[in-house]
Structures are given as structure tokens and as C-alpha cells.
DNA sequence: GAGTGGTCTAGACCACGGC
DNA sequence: CCGTGGTCTAGACCACTCT
């Protein structure tokens, strides 16, 4: 039983992927200039409008740069961004991006009723049954992330077995057992001491650093209805988040 | 002598601003649905393509949500983001967004030659003269940010007087005296202890928190040539960065 | 002047949601 | 069924850069 996120491939999307492939294939050759928009649109058999939509998306991500009167170029500085904070990715992928091998274990899995704060964050009635789950994530053999999540129990039809929890992330379980995709989230950042983290969690951890980066996030489904609240603590000696920003 | 960032207003830009105004004006009335694309484009006297380009930009920022077959809606969750980390804004504006009154003082202003690390980061020769400047920024009466910046001295024709430094940010001085606009930057995040921060800075600070968020950034001009390197330390009890992220 | 990206349009057709 | 947003096109004209 696998429910995959269904994303139709528009022409623009597939063009964008072709351009990304083109860039990756020519990375070694040192080719930093793309063909002109006219040439590219003819070569791809599409209108210039569609090509420009694809290029515009890549430009807003920072992957390419366009210079009026000169051409379109690969932006090598933006490509140096590894652990991109502005992308919504799994904890495991974050560790992979940091160049490490990810693994995880479940610290905690239980039911809890929503207190006032949680009820407001998740837009549910106070007392509504929530699932509380805590993961410890390792980069190689070192603990890099502690993540705790809360979401309404009713989203899950049946509570999966421990094996399932051990093999999948919260988001995968919400997708497969709750048919709920987290499409966007709002994140708050704080720097906290290891001691503050352990007081919040209520137990000791194997995080080595004395200071950690705390990300508090509310995840929403496609209708911007809150579905999950998470608190994650990162050892920034191991996970260094990056961002590439463009002035508007 | 004021050199303003020259940004031509395209039709799409002005349409986008009109939509933002529309949203702000109707925020109080509780109107969360925008007119249909056909109606809007007719009312504004523009083609639907141009309107959709403007709406698409607002959607990628999270300000609006479009539902196929239903309409376009204001995204209230995204609007809750206050101190948006994915926007390139001045330290003073960051403090304003956090709901505080900003002020700043210069801690340090001197010349320094580039060491190996700095030479690599700024893509200059080792030994090249740099300007080193350190600001302390206050939220009300509390120290909230310490920021240190380095940039090649040759960018500035003449070194401005102390008065100018006290009245402007690094970016304003680079723009007005160096005719250099910082158009994009790459940022790295770390959580560090107050002690580590003070060791890096070489002096004590008035930051109250025991842990701070460190942002290390390289700023680039419109040709993605590095022009400034900065290390900034934030008291996240006062400045809590936010992000709204959309899955791709 | 030739080539590049930047902007805008009119119009067609499709897919989804609610009535 | 109708109205909504989603996608794509051909073509025009402009502004910038280089030679």
C-alpha cells in the first residue's frame, strides 16, 4: 500500500528538469553558458514563453542567472548551497545533504491529549487525542537531530505497527496511513542550550554540542489546514543549514 | 548624493503591488477570496498572462493560494511570518519586523589585509586591503545583534566620515559610496554559545542570551561577484526568524 | 547591426469544483 | 452546466551588450 504524491508533469516542469540535466551534464566540461532562448526553445520544440517560465523558476531558485544582452549562465555560487533550509525535505535527506549516512530510532511513541497551546497550533479542540512521537537521527554514528512531532490521532485510520514507525518518517506515515500530504510549513528558528533542549524533552540526549538550533514548525496540507506540529533540535556542528537569497 | 537602487517598474510588478494593496485593504473586512482571473485582468486592463505572472510570484512567496475550480485566496498562515529569513533585509528592518525600535552604534572600524580564508571568500588576492566594521544593534535598549563585515577597500572611493558610518548600514554605504548593490547572498546558520561568539569577536558583548544564532554570509553584486563577507550574531530571544516553505 | 534576454498580448484549450 | 484556475502557443516589440 503506497500512496505516492501525484504530481502531474506539466511541459514546463519537464523542460525545467531537462535544463537541470543539461547543467549537470555540462558541469564537468566547464560550460557555464546556456544556449540562447531562441535556440533552446527551437531545440526543445516548445514556445519561448514556456521555456522562459521554466528558466524563471530556475532563476528564482538561484540555479541560473540571466544577463540582458549577454545570455543565461549557471550560478555556481547558489549551487554551493548544500543543506538548503528553504527546501522542505526529510530529516534523513538533510543528513544526506550534509554528506553523512542517516539512520534513526524511535525514542517515544504515545498518545496525548491536546493542551491549550497545541490545540491552537493544530486548530483542534482542547483535549483532542494526539499522537506524540520522537525520533533521534544519526549522522553516521553521531546523534545529529532530535525531532518530536504531534498530530491528531484521527488523521491515522489505524495506528501502524512499531516496525512501520521504525522504517518511516512522520511525513511518510501521514501520507501512507493518513492520506495527508504536508504541502507547506511555517518554521521558527531559535538558538538554545543543550540544557534547555533536555529540559523541554524531559530526558538526556547524546547530542554532543552545548548549543543547538531549534526549529519549531507547523505543517499544513494542501488546504493550509494544520496537520502536524514539530520541534526539532539540530547539532549545527554536523548540520549546517544554508540559504541562497535574491533581492526582490 | 544618493544613489537609489534603480528598479524599473514592469507592468507585472505594479500589478503585483496593486494586488498586495488590495489584500491589505480587505484584510480587516475579512475578505479572503480574490476576484477571478478574468474579472481581475479586465478590471486592471491587462492580459490574463500578465495577471497570472503577478499572481504566480505572490503564490511562490506564500501570500496567496490558488484552488483549481474554486478561486484565489489569501494565505493567512504565510502572512503570520514576521521576521522572514528568506528575505534579504537590513538588520534595522529585522528589528522593526520583530516589533522593536532599532538603533545601532559602531564598535569597530579599521583596515585589515585579507588572510587566506577571507581572500578565498571574497575572491581577492591575499593581503588585499579590506575594511573591517562592526555594528552593535539594539532593539529598544537591549542589544539584539552584533554584526561584523569585511569588504575590499577599493570598492569605496573615499572612506566616509564616522558620521556617515554611524548613520548608515554597510549596504547603504556600499551602494552610495561604492556604487555597489548587494543583489544576492549565501548564508550559513549555526547555533553557538555566547562564549564562542565573544572569543571570535575578541571582546565582551551586552547580549543577554547564553546562546546565539550565527549567520555567516557572502554578499554578491549583480554579476555574482562577492563584495562583502559578514558574521552576525542574533539573540533569538529577541529576534525569532521565520520561514514559510512550499513543497515543490 | 546582430544577437541576447525582457515584456506584453490575444486566444485557444484543458481540468477541476460546485450547482 | 458554468465558472474557476492551469497550460501552452505565436508573435510583436523593447532594451541591453558586444563588435
C-alpha separations of A213 from A202, A233, B83, B94, B232 in Å: 18, 6, 17, 19, 15
- Per-residue confidence (pLDDT) for residue B64, from 0 to 100: 95
Domain assignment present for A5:
no
Q: Are residue A118 and residue A224 in the same domain, yes or no?
A: yes
Look at residue A4 and tell me whether its pLDDT is greater than 50.
Answer: no
Domain assignment present for A248:
no
Long-range pairs of B218-221 with CB within 8 A, sequence gap ≥ 24: B218/A77, B218/B121, B218/B122, B218/B185, B218/B186, B219/B171, B219/B182, B219/B184, B219/B185, B220/A77, B220/B182, B220/B183, B220/B184, B220/B185, B220/B186, B221/B180, B221/B181, B221/B182, B221/B183
Picking from A137, A136, A128, A135, the residue whose alpha carbon sits closest to that of residue A226 is A128
Q: Are residue A167 and residue A227 in the same domain, yes or no?
A: yes
Of A49, A77, A190, the CB nearest to B224: A77
- Per-residue confidence (pLDDT) for residue B8, from 0 to 100: 58
At B32-77, the pLDDT tens digits run 899 999 999 999 999 999 999 999 999 999 999 999 999 999 999 9
CATH number at residue B28: 1.10.10.10
- Per-residue confidence (pLDDT) for residue A5, from 0 to 100: 41
Q: State how far the Cα of B12 lies from the Cα of B20, in Å rounded to an integer.
A: 12
pLDDT-based confidence at A8, cuts 50/70/90? low
Q: What are the E-state strand segments in B60-201?
A: 64-67, 71-74, 102-113, 129-139, 142-152, 184-193
CATH number at residue B215: 3.40.1410.10
Look at residue A43 and tell me whether its pLDDT is greater than 80.
Answer: yes
Q: What does strand D contact on the protein, if contact means CB under 7 A?
A: A 8, 10-12, 45-50, 53, 67-70; B 34, 36-39, 48-49, 52, 55, 66-72
Of B57, B79, B101, which residue is a domain's last?
A: B79
- Per-residue confidence (pLDDT) for residue B36, from 0 to 100: 94
Specify whether the CB–CB gap between A171 and A160 falls below 8 A. no
Mean pLDDT confidence for B151-155: 93
- Give the range of the structural domain holding residue A217, as residue numbers without chain letter: 91-234
At A168-215, the pLDDT tens digits run 999 999 988 888 899 999 999 999 999 999 999 999 999 999 999 999
Q: Report the gap between the CA of A137 and the closest CA in chain B (Å).
A: 18
Cβ atoms within 10 Å, residue B108: 13
Report percent pLDDT > 90 for chain B.
82
Enter the C-alpha cell of residue B111: 583596515
Of B53, B79, B105, which residue is a domain's last?
A: B79
- Per-residue confidence (pLDDT) for residue A30, from 0 to 100: 81
Look at residue B1 and tell me whether its pLDDT is greater than 70.
Answer: no
Long-range pairs of B107-113 with CB within 8 A, sequence gap ≥ 24: B107/B134, B107/B135, B107/B136, B107/B146, B107/B203, B108/B132, B108/B133, B108/B134, B108/B148, B109/B133, B109/B134, B109/B162, B109/B165, B111/B153, B112/B150
Q: State how far the Cα of A40 lies from the Cα of A28, in Å rounded to an integer.
A: 21
Of B25, B52, B79, which residue is a domain's last?
A: B79
At A91-106, the pLDDT tens digits run 999 999 999 999 999 9
Considering only residues 17 to 46 of chain A, which have any Cβ-Cβ distance to chain B shorter than 8 Å?
Answer: none
In chain A, % helix, strand, coil (3-state, to 5) comes to 35, 30, 35
Look at residue A59 and tell me whether its pLDDT is greater than 60.
Answer: yes
Chain B residues 42-101, Cβ below 7 A from strand C: 45-50, 53, 67-70
Q: Are residue B184 and residue B204 in the same domain, yes or no?
A: yes
Domain count, chain B: 2
- Per-residue confidence (pLDDT) for residue B5, from 0 to 100: 41
At B124-141, the pLDDT tens digits run 999 999 999 999 999 999
Q: Are residue B49 and residue B126 in the same domain, yes or no?
A: no
What interhelical angle do B37-44 and B11-25 show, nearest 10? 110
Residues contacting residue B150 through CB under 8 Å, at least 6 positions apart: B112, B114, B118, B122, B130, B131, B132, B228, B229, B230
pLDDT-based confidence at B218, cuts 50/70/90? very high
Q: Report the gap between the CA of B59 and the closest CA in chain A (Å).
A: 12
Any idea how long chain B is? 248
Amino acid at each position: 500500500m503506497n500512496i505516492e504524491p501525484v504530481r502531474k508533469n506539466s511541459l514546463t516542469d519537464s523542460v525545467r528538469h531537462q535544463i537541470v540535466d543539461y547543467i549537470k551534464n555540462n558541469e564537468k566540461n566547464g560550460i557555464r553558458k546556456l544556449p540562447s532562448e531562441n535556440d533552446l526553445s527551437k531545440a526543445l520544440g516548445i514556445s519561448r514563453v514556456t521555456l522562459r517560465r521554466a528558466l524563471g523558476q530556475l532563476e528564482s531558485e538561484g540555479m541560473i542567472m540571466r544577463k540582458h544582452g549577454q545570455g543565461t549562465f549557471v550560478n555556481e555560487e547558489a549551487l554551493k548551497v548544500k543543506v538548503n533550509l528553504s527546501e522542505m525535505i526529510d530529516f534523513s535527506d538533510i543528513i544526506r545533504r550534509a554528506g553523512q549516512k542517516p539512520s534513526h530510532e524511535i525514542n517515544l511513541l504515545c498518545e496525548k491529549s491536546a493542551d491549550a497551546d497545541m490545540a491552537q497550533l493544530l486548530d483542534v479542540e482542547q483535549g483532542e487525542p494526539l499522537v506524540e512521537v520522537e525520533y533521534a537521527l544519526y549522522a553516521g554514528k553521531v546523534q545529529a537531530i532530535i525531532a518530536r512531532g504531534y498530530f491528531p490521532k484521527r488523521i491515522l485510520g489505524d495506528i501502524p505497527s512499531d516496525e512501520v514507525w521504525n522504517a518511516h518518517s512522520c511525513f511518510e506515515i501521514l501520507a501512507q496511513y493518513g492520506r495527508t500530504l504536508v504541502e507547506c510549513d511555517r518554521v521558527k528558528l531559535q538558538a538554545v542550550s543543550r540544557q534547555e533542549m533536555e529540559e523541554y524533552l524531559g530526558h538526556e540526549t547524546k547530542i554532543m554540542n552545548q548549543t543547538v538550533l531549534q526549529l519549531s514548525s507547523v505543517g499544513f496540507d494542501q488546504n493550509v489546514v494544520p496537520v502536524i506540529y514539530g520541534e526539532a533540535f539540530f547539532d549545527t556542528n554536523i548540520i549546517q543549514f544554508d540559504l541562497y537569497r535574491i533581492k526582490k
